[in-house]
Amino acid sequence: MLELKNVKKTFNRGSINEKRALSGVNLKLEPGDFVTVIGGNGAGKSTMLNMIAGVYPIDSGAVIIDGKNVTLQPDYKRAAYLGRVFQDPMMGTAADMEIEENLAMAYRRGKRRGLGWGILKQEKKIYHEALQMLELGLEERMSSKVGLLSGGQRQALTLLMATLQKPKVLLLDEHTAALDPKTAAKVLKLTQELVKKNHLTTLMITHNMKDAIRLGNRLIMMHEGNIIYDIKGEEKRQLKVSDLLAKFEEASNGEFANDRMMLS
Amino acid sequence: MGVIMGIISSLPGALSQGVLWGIMALGVYITYKILDIADLTVDGSFALGGSVCAMCIVGGMHPMLAILVAIIAGCIAGAVTGILHAVFDIPAILAGILTQLGLYSINLRIMGRSNTPLLKQETIVDKLAGLLPNMKNSYTTLIIGILAVVIVILVSYWFFGTEVGSEIRATGNNEAMVKALGGNTRLMKALGLAISNGLVALSGALVCQSQGYADVNSGQGAIVTGLAAIVIGNVLLGWGKSFGMKMISVITGSVIYRIVIAIVMQAGWVDTSDTKLFSAILVAIALAVPVLIERHRNRPQVEE
CATH of B2-297, one of 1.10.357, 3.30.70, 1.10.3470, 3.40.50: 1.10.3470
Beta bridge partners of A98: A145
In one-letter notation, the amino acid at residue A114 is G
The crossing angle, in degrees rounded to 10, of helices B2-29 and B185-211 is 150
> Taking a C-beta distance cutoff of 8 angstroms, is the pair B26, B201 a contact?
no
pLDDT category of residue B2 using cuts at 50, 70 and 90: confident
In chain A, how long is the greatest CA-to-CA distance?
59
Output the CA angle B110-B113-B117, nearest 5 degrees.
Answer: 90
pLDDT in tens, B165-217: 999 999 999 999 999 999 999 999 999 999 999 999 999 999 999 999 999 99
pLDDT in tens, A154-208: 999 999 999 999 999 999 999 999 888 888 999 999 999 999 999 999 999 998 8
> Taking a C-beta distance cutoff of 8 angstroms, is the pair B247, B298 a contact?
no
- Which ipTM score applies to this complex? 0.89
Query: CB neighbours (10 Å) of residue A260?
Result: 10
pTM exceeding 0.80: yes
pLDDT at residue number A263: 45
pLDDT above 80: residue A252: no
pLDDT in tens, B141-170: 999 999 999 999 999 999 999 999 999 999
Smallest Cβ distance to A118: which of B166, B174, B177?
B166
Smallest Cβ distance to B177: which of A91, A115, A116?
A91
Compare all CA atoms of chain B with the CA of A52 and give the residue at the minimum distance. B180
Substitution target from A76, A117, A120 for chain B, most B beta carbons within 10 A:
A76
State how far the Cα of B270 lies from the Cα of B263, in Å rounded to an integer: 10
B24's CB contacts (< 8 A; 6+ apart) are B42, B46, B199, B200, B203, B204, B222, B225, B226, B254
B87 touches chain A (CB under 8 A): no
**Residue ranges covered by each domain of chain B:** 2-297
pLDDT in tens, B10-45: 888 899 999 999 999 999 999 999 999 999 999 999
Q: B174 vs A94: CB contact, 8 Å cut-off? A: yes
Beta bridge partners of A35: A203, A218
Percent of residues in chain A assigned helix, strand, coil, to nearest 5: 40, 25, 35
> Taking a C-beta distance cutoff of 8 angstroms, is the pair B173, A97 a contact?
yes
Å between B241 CA and nearest CA of chain A: 11
Contacts of residue B169 in chain A, CB cutoff 8 Å?
94, 96-97
Contacts of residue B182 in chain A, CB cutoff 8 Å?
76-77, 79-80, 108-111
pLDDT category of residue B1 using cuts at 50, 70 and 90: low
Contacts of residue A82 in chain B, CB cutoff 8 Å?
180
The gap between the terminal CA atoms of chain B, to the nearest Å, is 57
pLDDT at residue number A260: 47
Percent of chain B scoring above 70 in pLDDT: 100
pLDDT in tens, B94-111: 999 999 999 999 999 999
Query: CB neighbours (10 Å) of residue A213?
Result: 21
- The CATH superfamily holding the domain A2-81+167-263 is P-loop containing nucleotide triphosphate hydrolases (3.40.50.300)
Cα dihedral B19, B53, B215, B211 sign: negative
